């Protein structure tokens, strides 16, 4: 069996789209997956998934979350190798270590184009740095995410990026959970 990480977009952010992690775990188990574990209340679940592709799992989980939990959201799925590669490719290791709660990785379904990166960077203010990776965006918000205009760009439909952000602490906790 192949371990997978599924990240839910927009769950428990600002009080919207709340879903108990116990409910999410029960749903994934009911789909026949094993070794199911959740992490934090922000929509992180790991499980043994067999040979299904990331895209097939994303589609299945979205459909079932709506049917079983009444939750309309997007899922982004990664395997342990891709997760480890994302961590190792971090272009800002000093920022991640120094202020892990202000360093986010926006994990995306799509490749991040130069145009997408330019849109995010255009909104960045002094103290913020944004770099693209393989289907992710690394962002350091020196003054915090809450007041960042660049952080708001990730949610714009015009950006064309299906992504969800996790701070560096959470990225590392997920890695530990899957042994990546």
Encode pLDDT of 112-125 as tens digits: 999 999 999 999 99
Q: What is the dihedral of CA 123, 127, 133, 135, to 10 degrees?
A: -50
Q: How confident is the model at residue 16 (pLDDT cuts 50, 70, 90)?
A: low
> What are the structure tokens assigned to 147, written together?
């007041």
Q: Same domain for 160 and 132?
A: yes
Residue 48's domain comprises 3-78
**pLDDT confidence of 12, banded at 50, 70, 90?**
low
Domain harbouring 103, CATH code: 3.30.70
**Residue bearing tokens 């960077």:** 121
Decide which of 50, 78, 106 is a domain's last residue: 78
**Which runs of consecutive H residues, i.e. helices, occur in the chain?**
21-30, 54-69, 80-88, 93-98, 114-123, 149-153, 168-178
The predicted-structure confidence for 57-100, as pLDDT tens digits, reads as follows 999 999 999 999 888 999 999 999 999 999 999 999 999 999 99
């Amino acid at each position: 069996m192949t371990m997978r990480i599924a990240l839910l977009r927009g769950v428990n952010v600002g009080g919207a789209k709340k879903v108990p992690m116990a409910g999410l775990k029960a749903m994934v188990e009911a789909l026949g997956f094993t070794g199911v574990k959740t992490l934090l209340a922000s929509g992180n679940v790991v499980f043994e998934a067999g040979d299904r592709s990331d895209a097939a799992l994303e589609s299945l989980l979205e459909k079932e979350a709506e049917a079983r939990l009444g939750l309309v959201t997007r899922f982004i799925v990664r395997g342990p190798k891709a997760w480890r590669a994302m961590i190792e490719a971090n272009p800002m290791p000093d920022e991640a270590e120094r202020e892990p709660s202000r360093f986010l990785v926006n994990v995306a379904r799509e490749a991040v184009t130069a145009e997408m990166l330019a849109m995010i960077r255009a909104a960045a203010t002094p103290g913020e740095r944004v770099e693209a990776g393989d289907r992710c965006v690394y962002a350091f918000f020196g003054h915090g995410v809450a007041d960042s205009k660049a952080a708001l760009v990730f949610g714009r439909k015009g950006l064309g990026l299906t992504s969800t952000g996790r701070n560096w602490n959470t990225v590392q906790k997920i890695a530990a959970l899957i042994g990546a």
